[in-house]
């Protein structure tokens, strides 16, 4: 069954089926479009450059061949994927001044965006589990976090995220779109498309809330439980220096988790709201641009090992290790 057939309105529904959506973008004022283009192009280049630098450092530097940095390298790949799903297409629309997006392309963007964000969600949980084992179970750390376990955690993250993204996409493709087709956003996402559907989205929203609770609620609960154990273990350390060192390895991860979940919850817990405003665009910028751009900054600024590895890589020096 083709996408067009899936999106046909039920017999008796008023209006004609729409073949494309019009993405209104960030700003209506034409004079500010060049400024938006330059800012987003800069953000894209910084994000891709920063994340690929961390990935290269993790691959090249022997000191960074540990589970924590293995997950960080994977996180960098996801951040590049996440921003590449939304920003390049927005930049091309700004250049061509064509705002129409075929329904199929819109659903494809939706699928890949939720795929990368979903893997991100589970990978942050795997990183919390890694910190828990390193601080609370140091004697069995090497066996419990072997290379096989690391790969299994990453593979499971991709499998769960793929299932989630496919569910979102299939559910969206069953809705009827026969009325207005203007999306007040710069990329295709669930809240905005739900607003445009001319069929009831109540069942869809209930399903997505249930899936979302499993996808976001479970990882979040596991992260909180991990860090309660970590905090308890660190507080038992008598030396101030020892506590400082233990907390410093968790600081970057906790910052990234807080930003990621904070913006995500604000965006998707408002699916039932009657009006979607420009605030949603701001949250969208946070989810798709600022989060991926902040991750390498947070991890490199707070981590001397990553800093020195990137510096050695850029200057062509080899590690003494």
Which domains can be identified in the chain, with CATH numbers? Answer: 29-315 (1.20.1070.10)
Residue 6's pLDDT is what? 40
Residue corresponding to tokens 């809705």: 175
Residue 41's pLDDT is what? 95
**Could you read off the pLDDT tens digit of each residue along the chain, which spans 321 residues?**
444 444 444 433 444 577 888 888 877 766 788 888 999 999 999 999 999 999 998 998 888 889 989 999 999 999 999 999 999 999 998 888 888 889 899 999 999 999 999 999 999 999 999 999 998 998 999 999 999 999 999 999 999 999 999 988 998 888 888 878 888 888 888 888 888 888 888 877 888 788 878 888 889 899 999 999 998 988 888 788 877 777 777 888 888 888 888 877 776 665 555 455 566 777 788 888 888 888 888 877 667 788 888 888 878 776 554
Closest residue by Cα to residue 115 from 88, 94, 85: 85
Distances (CA, A) of 30 to 25, 179, 199, 285: 11, 26, 34, 19
Residue 313's pLDDT is what? 80
**Contact assessment for residue 86 and residue 186, using Cβ atoms and an 8 Å cutoff:** yes
pTM reported for the whole predicted model: 0.86
């Amino acid at each position: 069954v083709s996408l067009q057939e899936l999106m046909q309105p039920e017999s008796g529904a008023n209006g004609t089926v729409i073949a494309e959506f019009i993405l209104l973008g960030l700003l209506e004022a034409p004079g500010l479009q060049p400024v938006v283009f330059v800012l987003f192009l800069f953000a894209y280049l910084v994000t891709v450059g920063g994340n690929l630098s961390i990935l290269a450092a993790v691959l090249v530097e022997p000191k960074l061949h540990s589970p924590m940095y293995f997950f960080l390298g994977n996180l960098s790949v996801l951040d590049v994927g996440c921003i590449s799903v939304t920003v390049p297409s927005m930049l091309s629309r700004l250049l061509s001044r064509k705002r129409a997006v075929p329904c199929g392309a819109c659903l494809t963007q939706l699928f890949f965006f939720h795929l990368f964000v979903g893997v991100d969600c589970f990978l942050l949980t795997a990183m919390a589990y890694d910190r828990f084992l390193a601080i609370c179970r140091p004697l069995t750390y090497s066996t419990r976090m072997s290379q096989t376990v690391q790969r299994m955690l990453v593979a499971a993250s991709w499998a769960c995220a793929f299932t989630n993204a496919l569910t979102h996409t299939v559910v969206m493709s069953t809705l009827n779109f026969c009325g207005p087709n203007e999306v007040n956003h710069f990329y295709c996402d669930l809240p905005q498309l739900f607003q445009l559907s001319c069929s009831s989205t109540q069942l869809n929203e209930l399903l997505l809330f249930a899936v979302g609770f499993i996808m976001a609620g479970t990882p979040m609960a596991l992260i909180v439980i991990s860090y309660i154990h970590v905090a308890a273990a660190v507080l038992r350390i008598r030396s101030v220096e020892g506590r400082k060192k233990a907390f410093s390895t968790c600081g970057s991860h906790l910052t990234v988790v807080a930003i990621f979940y904070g913006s995500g919850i604000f965006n998707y817990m408002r699916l039932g709201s009657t009006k979607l405003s420009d605030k949603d665009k701001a949250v969208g910028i946070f989810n798709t641009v600022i989060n991926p751009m902040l991750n390498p900054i947070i991890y490199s600024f707070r981590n001397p090992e990553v800093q020195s590895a990137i510096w050695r890589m850029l200057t062509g020096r080899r590690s003494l290790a």
